[in-house]
């Protein structure tokens, strides 16, 4: 794309003597879209859409003519001779010539649309990604950023968190970024909350509560070779770092184990509020799921999803997608993109679990951007156990 914009684009019809109005109009659209000077390019999609509609109208008008006048006069004699020999062959050639010309012009319009659409999309992404670091460097709070800056910030920081989760991080599409942002916005709205209700407490209280607990639980995840970002932010979305929280379904403790699951992993019901006993159990459970589902960054999204809905349900969801697309990418975001094909529980609950995890991690690793007084939570792990992090 950079190479294309570094020079004026070649004429679309440089090898053809085409003087139709739509061809010159199409050339004008492409030239404007790829103009070297930014202020002379299209600035928004509706502008180019209007011009392309005009090209289409001209094409429809012109396509009603089988040949232009200049070609008709040049081939008149040949047509007469051919008709005298074989009338049916003459008519067939005329129809083929008409359809061929129409196909060529349709392809030209389609290519122009694809080039310009890709250009506009690429430019919008580059603008968002360029704005985000500038907003952070200026010391802006998340709530002070405009919508474009916020999306760029989420996009950049999601990649950072994904890199902390393992190899092969995935570049997310706009829908996935917006899902993370939606959860992040809900968290950010609680920064100054005075509520004491579960799910309504201030971020300052929640992240402050995590600070003394992280050094106690981190070794259990480190020993199992689990990305520490998982061990740090899993309790954030499960219990908001309340060591003895119990929900209506009976899950209890920092990691919200069901009593029978806790016993299966060696923790008695009476010890479920002990974070130093629950952390090894949670790490063991995650390690088991990693053995089944994988341990790279994309697979870790499935491991986290299995914590919410069970490994069997995750495998069944993947199996159902594979039946329709054997080349699907094996990660949570593929399931998210196809959530309309999955069950109600996934659509109404599980689809928001991983975006919530990323939102919590983005806040915890960028506390200054959310006006929190704690340091990045991953820095509270002893140096020998600090998680790998990509630079900002």
Do residues 184 and 333 share a domain? yes
Q: Is 223 left (phi over 0), alpha (psi -120 to 50) or beta?
A: alpha
Residue 32 binned pLDDT confidence (cut-offs 50, 70, 90): confident
Residue 167 lies in a domain: yes
In the numeric block, the tokens 């050339």 are attached to 27
Q: Across residues 68-85, what is the average pLDDT? A: 52
Residue 10 lies in a domain: no
CA 75 to chain centre: 56
Structural domains in the chain (count): 2
Q: Which residues pair with 252 in a beta bridge?
A: 246, 257
Q: Across residues 39-60, what is the average pLDDT? A: 65
Do residues 300 and 174 share a domain? yes
pLDDT at 110 over 80: no
pLDDT at 93: 55
pLDDT at 91: 54
- Cβ-in-10-Å burial (0-12, 13-18, 19+) of 69 comes to exposed
- Whether 92 and 114 have beta carbons less than 8 Å apart is answered as no
pLDDT at 371: 96
- Whether 390 and 181 have beta carbons less than 8 Å apart is answered as no
Structure tokens at 29: 């659209």
Do residues 377 and 250 share a domain? yes
pLDDT at 19: 52
In the numeric block, the tokens 């007469």 are attached to 80
Neighbours of 268 (CB within 10 A): 11
Do residues 154 and 127 share a domain? no
Pick from 326, 319, 282: nearest CA to 304 = 282
Residue 48 lies in a domain: yes
Q: What is the DSSP string of 237-305?
A: HHTSS-TT-B-TTS-BTTTTB-HHHHHHTT--GGGTT-HHHHHHHHHHHHHHHHHHH-SSHHHHHHHHH
Residues 302-357 pLDDT 10s: 999 999 999 999 999 999 888 887 788 999 999 999 999 999 999 999 999 999 99
Do residues 93 and 181 share a domain? no
Which of these three, 75, 105, 135, is where a domain ends? 135
Percentage of residues of the chain with pLDDT beyond 90? 58
Handedness of CA 19, 21, 23, 29 (dihedral sign): positive
Which of these three, 80, 110, 135, is where a domain ends? 135
Residue 7 lies in a domain: no
SS3 66: coil
Do residues 125 and 84 share a domain? yes
CA 76 to chain centre: 58
Do residues 333 and 217 share a domain? yes
Residue 294 lies in a domain: yes
Residue 392 lies in a domain: no
Distances (CA, A) of 239 to 196, 232, 257, 360: 14, 12, 10, 12
Do residues 96 and 238 share a domain? no
CATH at 327 = 1.10.530.10
Residues 170-187 pLDDT 10s: 999 999 999 999 999 999
CA distance 178 to 357: 14
Neighbours of 13 (CB within 10 A): 15
Which of these three, 80, 112, 135, is where a domain ends? 135
Pick from 322, 328, 349, 332: nearest CA to 296 = 332
Do residues 97 and 199 share a domain? no
pLDDT at 128 over 70: no
Residues 186-235 pLDDT 10s: 999 999 999 989 889 999 999 999 999 999 999 999 999 999 999 999 99
- With b for 16 or more beta-carbon neighbours within 10 A and e for fewer, the 352-367 pattern comes to bbbbbbbbbbbbbbbb
- Whether 338 and 321 have beta carbons less than 8 Å apart is answered as yes
pLDDT at 159 over 60: yes
pLDDT at 73 over 80: no
Residue 1 lies in a domain: no
Do residues 129 and 215 share a domain? no
Do residues 242 and 101 share a domain? no
Do residues 55 and 198 share a domain? no
Residues 89-102 pLDDT 10s: 545 555 555 555 55
pLDDT at 323: 84
Q: Where in the sequence is the domain holding 327, given as residue range(s)?
A: 149-385
pLDDT higher at 75 or 257: 257
Residue 140 lies in a domain: no
Residues 269-282 pLDDT 10s: 999 999 999 999 99
């Amino acid at each position: 794309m950079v190479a294309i914009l570094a020079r004026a684009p070649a004429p679309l019809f440089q090898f053809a003597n085409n003087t139709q109005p739509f061809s010159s109009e199409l050339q004008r659209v492409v030239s404007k879209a790829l103009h070297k000077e930014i202020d002379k390019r299209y600035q928004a999609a509706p502008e180019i859409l209007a011009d392309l509609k005009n090209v289409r109208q001209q094409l429809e008008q012109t396509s009603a003519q089988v040949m232009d006048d200049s070609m008709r006069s040049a081939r008149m004699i040949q047509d007469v001779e051919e008709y005298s020999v074989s009338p049916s062959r003459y008519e067939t050639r005329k129809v083929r010539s008409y359809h061929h010309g129409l196909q060529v012009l349709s392809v030209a319009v389609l290519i122009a649309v694809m080039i310009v659409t890709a250009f506009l999309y690429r430019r919008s992404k580059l603008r968002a990604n360029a704005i985000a670091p500038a907003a952070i460097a200026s010391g802006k709070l998340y709530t002070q950023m405009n919508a474009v800056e916020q999306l760029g910030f989420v996009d950049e920081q999601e990649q950072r968190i994904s890199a902390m989760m393992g190899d092969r991080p995935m570049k997310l599409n706009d829908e996935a970024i917006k899902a993370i942002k939606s959860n992040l916005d809900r968290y950010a709205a609680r920064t100054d909350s005075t509520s004491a209700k579960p799910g309504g407490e201030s971020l300052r209280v929640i992240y402050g509560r995590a600070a003394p607990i992280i050094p106690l639980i981190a070794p259990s995840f480190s020993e199992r070779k689990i990305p520490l970002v998982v061990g740090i932010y899993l309790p954030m979305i499960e219990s908001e770092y309340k060591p003895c929280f119990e929900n209506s379904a009976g899950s209890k403790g920092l990691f919200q184990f069901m009593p029978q699951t806790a016993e299966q992993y060696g923790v008695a019901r009476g010890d479920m509020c002990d974070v130093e006993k629950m952390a090894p159990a949670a790490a063991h459970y995650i390690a088991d799921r990693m053995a089944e589902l994988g341990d790279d960054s994309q697979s870790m999204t499935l491991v986290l999803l299995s914590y919410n809905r069970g490994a069997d349900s995750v495998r069944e969801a993947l199996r159902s997608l594979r039946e329709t697309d054997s080349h699907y990418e094996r990660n949570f975001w593929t399931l998210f993109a196809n959530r309309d094909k999955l069950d109600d529980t996934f659509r109404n609950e599980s689809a928001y679990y991983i975006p919530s995890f990323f939102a919590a991690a983005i806040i915890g690793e960028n506390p200054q951007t959310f006006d929190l007084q704690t340091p990045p939570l991953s820095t509270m792990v002893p140096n020998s156990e600090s998680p790998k992090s990509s630079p900002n």
